[in-house]
Amino acid sequence: MSNFMRVMFVLCATFVLGMQNASASSVSCTNATDTQFVPSWGRVEVGTDQYSRYIIQYMYWDKIQRMQWLGTNGDSTFEPDAWFYNYGDQGGLAYGLAPAGYWYSDLPAPYVDTQFEDQFTVGLNQYLELNETAVTVGSGWAVLINPAKVYITVTRMTSGRGSSGWVKLSAQRGRQVPATCMTTWCSFGCDTNNNYQTIPFADHFTIPGCQQYNWLWDITVRRTC
């Protein structure tokens, strides 16, 4: 086999294996540590006005090494997920259910992620049955995220039954499958070391409110804004 054919075979095999993995809920990725994709700093503000509830997230990677995995994988994706505590039997009712209405972000190729196929026609009961409800604006093209730059995501959301509640943030790395597809349906979480909770439920961060974190940026610390 010529060298050319050998390279072709390896790349085709990689693509096929990648597609096989993508049929599950995760995809194989090259190894990474948390300090190669989790933001150095982040901030979340959850609030309400006369129209609806909303969530605003900020994130910042202080230097290129902190986003090494995102920056060296051309098909990388990134999701700063916000999860609302909805363990009703343990006294918690979700403050937010799903993105709805206005949204924007300056993350590269942003998309809205929800747990159901259509956030506006799905029955309310389906959300109420979940123990955690996610509201996410992700980046479908995370290789273009820059270090030393602040990014923002904003979205309004539908209200859960709680007038207050807890929220956790998690930073998730993933890949586009197939590459160049930038919808939420093509963004798969990595199968290992994919997800770190930058603000865990255990903190009992109560919303509406504002919290910020440093993730192994000097230290790991969380505090009110």
Partner 1 sequence: MRPAKVLLLSLWLIVPIVSFAAPPVSERIKDAEETFGQVLKNTPEKEIRAAAFFTNDMSLENVRAAFGKSPLVVKGFRHGTQSYSGGYSLKQGETLDEAIASYSRDHLFFLQKRMEIEDQALAKETNNDLRKAMADHRKEADQMEADFKKNGIRVVGVEVAGRARDVQDFKEKNSFVRVIELTERGKPQSAIVPQR
CA dihedral 215, 216, 219, 220 (to 10 degrees): 40
Among 182, 190, 199, 207, binds partner 1 (CB under 8 A): 182
Q: By CB under 8 A, is residue 27 in contact with partner 1?
A: no
| DSSP at 203 | G
Tell me whether residue 2 or residue 125 sits nearer to partner 1 (CB atom). 2
Question: How long, in residues, is the chain?
Answer: 225
Task: Give the Å distances, CA to CA, from 103 to 100, 108, 116, 153.
Answer: 8, 14, 17, 8
Part of the chain binding partner 1 (CB under 8 A), chosen from 124-132, 138-146, 160-168, 188-196: 138-146
In whole angstroms, the minimum distance from the beta carbon of 101 to partner 1 comes to 6
Tell me whether residue 36 or residue 77 sits nearer to partner 1 (CB atom). 77
* Interface positions, 28-47, toward partner 1 (CB under 8 A): 41, 43, 45
Among 99, 160, 162, 165, binds partner 1 (CB under 8 A): 99
Q: By CB under 8 A, is residue 89 in contact with partner 1?
A: no
Tell me whether residue 56 or residue 130 sits nearer to partner 1 (CB atom). 56
Whether the CB-CB separation of 148 and 63 falls below 8 Å is answered with: yes
Binding marks (x or -) toward partner 1, 109..128, rule CB under 8 A? xxxxxx--xxxxx-------
Identify any residues that bridge with 84 across adjacent strands, giving them in sequence order.
Answer: 133, 167
In whole angstroms, the minimum distance from the beta carbon of 102 to partner 1 comes to 4
In whole angstroms, the minimum distance from the beta carbon of 207 to partner 1 comes to 15
Closest CA to 124 of 166, 101, 158: 158
Separation CA 52–CA 124 (nearest Å): 16
- List Cβ neighbours of 144 (8 Å cut-off, separation of 6 or more): 108, 109
Separation CA 222–CA 220 (nearest Å): 7
Q: Provide the binding-site residues for partner 1, judged by CB under 8 A.
A: 2-4, 7, 41, 43, 45, 49, 51, 54, 56, 58, 60, 62, 74-75, 99-106, 108-114, 117-121, 140-141, 143-144, 148-150, 152, 154, 156, 180-185, 225
